[in-house]
Amino acid sequence: MSIVPTFKAIQWSSSSGQLEIITKNVVPPVSGQALIRVLAYWVAPPHKYMFSGAIPFIKPHNHTPGGGCIGRVEAVGPDSLTLTLGQLVYVDPSINGRDAPEEKIVHGTIPGWTPRAEKLGTAGWKDGVMTEKVLAPIESVIAVDEKFFIEQKGYSIEKIFVLNRFVLPYAAYELAKLQPGDTVIVAFATGELGNAAVELALALGAASVIGIGRDQRKLDQWKSRFSPSQASRISAVAVSGDVDADASFITASTPKGAGADLFFDLTPPQGGSDASSHITSCIWSLKTKARVVFMGGISRGVQVSMPYFDIVHKDLQMYGSFMYDLSVPRKVLRLVESGILSLDNFETKVFQGLERFREAMDFAATEKDCRLGCFVAP
């Protein structure tokens, strides 16, 4: 395969703080790396604010931002055993330290919260996927069955990446040992990840899922898009901020009013201490020995109140987790390929051309459809 020696990439300048398109030279992959031609990269709703500094997860350091794409393998390092040239691949945004796997970053997006993770994100793998070509760690590059996704299912290249929405929820459910027949609370349920968390819980055998939101009309519209068999196992509950009343309403929505077995919290960055009363309400709605998983984005320094007494006396198991190990996306891929999990209900909006990245970020920041994914095809 002939490789064009240069390519275009978006760089986040540390001097101007602006995103700009530059031309770069191709660097051949070494051991542990794969060179990927990006066919479509994912644009998340908060990217507009993250890559302007409004959400202070990351600072510009003359790097290419963005994590997660679908692409084709252009070259691999000498130690790659399974990747082949031209292969269609899913590139996961999670990168784990090889000699310290507990250190995790989101490629080109969140460099981590410890000095070692920051080194991984700024010195090791600083350049993300908002580009025509990207170097990625081979363990984050996962071959997809092109015949199944393209020929059999008729999915577009971009739609394959939708499987990424289920990866974080799968990690949460694996951590909390979701069991068939469990009742699961998901907060908040109408975002990209929350909606996927509800669909995945149903696919994995949850008997009932309580979707938490703040607007009952929006929740009812969201629930109406599920199939009748799915909707019969979903309750949509709008919380008001009245902790006692919300807890009573959530508990009453569980089967026989017995409470829930698992609470999965995905509170976004804007959900600080003044917007997190739902956490107490949801914990009050749990059974004894229930499990709680926090994988949201509440910022460091924001204090969130917890019902200490109930956590202790209900013998609750509490988990907090940032990202996941790279066995998880492979498990989700198998769920999709086996037909247990479907991407059929999701749609994509694609902006053709790297130069349209600003349009794409503006669109993603304002689009409210939790089943629509935004992409740039460089």
Summarised one tens digit per residue, pLDDT across range 355-365 is: 999 999 999 99
- Separation between Cα atoms, residue 370 and residue 8, nearest integer Å: 30
Question: Is the domain of 116 the same as that of 241?
Answer: no
Decide if 91 is inside a domain.
yes
Same-domain status, 90 and 221: no
**DSSP-derived secondary structure for 269-285:** TT--GGG-HHHHHHHHT
* Full-model pTM: 0.95
pLDDT tens track for 320-378: 999 999 999 999 999 999 999 999 999 999 999 999 999 999 999 999 999 999 999 99
Q: What pLDDT is attached to residue 247?
A: 98
What is the tens place of the pLDDT at every residue in 190-230? 999 999 999 999 999 999 999 999 999 999 999 999 999 99
Check whether residue 239 and residue 122 sit in a common domain. no
Same domain, 179 and 240: yes
Q: Indicate the pLDDT class of residue 113, thresholds 50, 70 and 90.
A: confident
Domain span at 67: 6-155+343-377
pLDDT in tens, 245-272: 999 999 999 999 999 999 999 998 766 5
Residue 336 lies inside a defined structural domain of this protein: no
Q: Considering its fold, how many domains does the chain have in total?
A: 2
Task: Give per-residue pLDDT as tens, 30-74.
Answer: 999 999 999 999 999 999 988 988 877 778 889 999 999 999 999
- 89 and 230 in a single domain? The answer is no
What does the pLDDT read at residue 191?
A: 93
| 348, β-bridge pairs | 373
CA 5 to chain centroid, in Å, comes to 32
On whether the CB atoms of residues 177 and 357 are closer than 8 A, the answer is no
Task: Judge if 147 and 126 occupy the same domain.
Answer: yes
Q: Is 325 exposed, middle or buried (0-12, 13-18, 19+ CB in 10 A)?
A: middle
126 found inside a domain: yes
pLDDT for 55: 77
d(CA 353, CA 374) in angstroms, rounded, equals: 13
Sequence letter at residue 40: A
Radius of gyration of the chain (CA): 21
Of 54, 56, 34, nearest in space to 129 by CA: 34
* φ, ψ (nearest 5 deg) of residue 47: -60, -40
**For residue 328, is it within any domain?**
no
Do 275 and 315 have their domain in common?
yes
- Pick the closest to residue 111 from 121, 123, 125 (CA basis): 121
User: Does 97 share its domain with 123?
Assistant: yes
**8 A C-beta contact, residue 65 and residue 10:** yes
